[in-house]
Amino acid sequence: MGSGYYAPKPLDRKNDCGGTFGGPVWIPKVYNGHDITFFFFSWEQYRQTLGSTNISTIPTAAERQGDFSTLLGPPLLDSSGNPVINPCDGTPILQGQIFDPSTTKTVGGVECRTAFPRNKIPTPFSNVAQKIIALTPQPTNSGYLNNFLYVTSNPILDTAMAVRIDENLTSKSHHFFSYNSRDQEALASSPTLPNPLDTNYFHSFFTHYMRVGWDYIISPAALNHLNVGFNRIYSNSSITSNNPVSATCRTVSVVVLIRDVRS
């Protein structure tokens, strides 16, 4: 990559497991639901550890001490090709120059600031700055741009479950109940910095869906179908050291259908 990078291969692992089980409801000496009551259950979970390699720019060892002299470039030029002058002190403004906010003033109706000498911010820094610097990782190469290589993984978890009960009331009447759920959990994107500096967030999406249905054979040519459903969606997002933000949505649907089964 031109900066002495050696990017290790990120981890990528996938596992998918589950099973189904069903049949007539039969409880010895209590209930025999052969040809009357049936059940079905399924469960599946998908797990993935999605590896990623990200490159970002963080302060160099010199910049952590307030020395930003490597950022200084040639003077800025106006549309006529002349150097842009700082009205505060009459010196040319350089590319990458850092200005002292404590020197803010207005000269000739123009607000300006004086640049730090040689682009070096005097120490000691404020307590806030020192705490942020302490959380910032060290560069992984000697460059001042794209100098941090972060190899990490994004865990993905997807769990689905289904339960269904069918009951033959008579030869013409049949009803059922079903419940389905799905829980999807993952980071919104691949982390670029260690916590708590990374702006990524964890997202959970949980869906519940219940249905109750009834079928009745009116005649050899007509079937009545009644279906009532309830859907609940829970969405939750959380950031490190922050309260989760969640939203819930509920829907109810009712379907009554007369089907003509004439050939």
Residues 19 and 117 both lie in one domain: no
Q: What is the DSSP string of 236-250?
A: EEE-TTS--EEEEEE
Q: How confident is the model at residue 251 (pLDDT cuts 50, 70, 90)?
A: low
- 0.75 cut: is pTM over it? no
Does residue 141 lie in a domain region? no
Structural domain including 86 reads 67-122
Q: How confident is the model at residue 49 (pLDDT cuts 50, 70, 90)?
A: confident
pLDDT at 5 over 60: no
Give mean pLDDT, residues 146-159: 89
Query: Which residues, other chains included, contact 234 with Cβ-Cβ below 8 Å and sequence gap of 6+?
Result: 204, 205, 206, 207, 208, 246, 247, 248
Please identify, among 79, 106, 122, the residue that sits at the C-terminal boundary of a domain. Answer: 122
| CA neighbor of 209 nearest in space, from 190, 228, 188 | 228
Q: What Cα–Cα distance (Å) separates residue 70 from each residue in 4, 20, 96, 203?
A: 19, 64, 9, 40
Residues 33 and 99 both lie in one domain: no
Does residue 221 lie in a domain region? yes
Give mean pLDDT, residues 14-26: 94
Distance CA 189, CA 53 (A): 12
pLDDT at 256 over 60: no
What is the token pair recorded at 206?
């949980």
pLDDT at 66 over 60: yes
In the prediction, which pLDDT does 36 show? 92
Residues 52 and 167 both lie in one domain: yes
Does residue 143 lie in a domain region? no
Asked whether the beta carbons of 112 and 85 are under 8 A apart, the reply is no
Does residue 133 lie in a domain region? no
Residues 164 and 223 both lie in one domain: yes
Residues 91 and 164 both lie in one domain: no
In the prediction, which pLDDT does 248 show? 52
In the prediction, which pLDDT does 113 show? 95
Give mean pLDDT, residues 198-226: 89
Q: How confident is the model at residue 123 (pLDDT cuts 50, 70, 90)?
A: confident
Average pLDDT in the chain:
85
Does residue 207 lie in a domain region? yes
Q: How confident is the model at residue 261 (pLDDT cuts 50, 70, 90)?
A: very low
Residues 94 and 192 both lie in one domain: no
Greater model confidence, 146 or 124: 146
Residue 101 DSSP class: G
In the prediction, which pLDDT does 198 show? 83
What is the number of domains present in the chain? Answer: 2
Compute the radius of gyration of the chain from its Cα atoms. 33
H-helix or E-strand containing 47? strand 37-56
In the prediction, which pLDDT does 3 show? 46
Does residue 153 lie in a domain region? yes
pLDDT tens track for 181-209: 999 988 888 888 888 888 888 888 899 99
Please identify, among 75, 104, 122, the residue that sits at the C-terminal boundary of a domain. Answer: 122
pLDDT tens track for 75-120: 999 999 999 999 999 999 999 999 999 999 999 999 999 999 999 9
Three-class SS of residue 71?
helix
Does residue 7 lie in a domain region? no
Residues 105 and 189 both lie in one domain: no
Residues 50 and 107 both lie in one domain: no
Count of beta carbons in the 10 Å neighbourhood of residue 252? 10
Q: How confident is the model at residue 252 (pLDDT cuts 50, 70, 90)?
A: low
Q: Name all contacts of 67-76 with Cβ < 8 Å and 24+ positions apart.
A: 67/119, 67/120, 67/121, 68/96, 68/98, 68/116, 68/119, 68/120, 68/121, 69/118, 69/119, 69/120, 70/144, 71/96, 71/98, 71/119, 71/144, 72/96, 72/97, 72/118, 72/119
Residues 93 and 181 both lie in one domain: no
Query: Which residues, other chains included, contact 68 with Cβ-Cβ below 8 Å and sequence gap of 6+?
Result: 62, 96, 98, 116, 119, 120, 121
Residues 101 and 207 both lie in one domain: no
Does residue 129 lie in a domain region? no
In the prediction, which pLDDT does 12 show? 82
Residues 256 and 155 both lie in one domain: yes
In the prediction, which pLDDT does 263 show? 37
Q: How confident is the model at residue 8 (pLDDT cuts 50, 70, 90)?
A: low
Distance CA 139, CA 150 (A): 10
In the prediction, which pLDDT does 45 show? 96
Residues 74 and 199 both lie in one domain: no
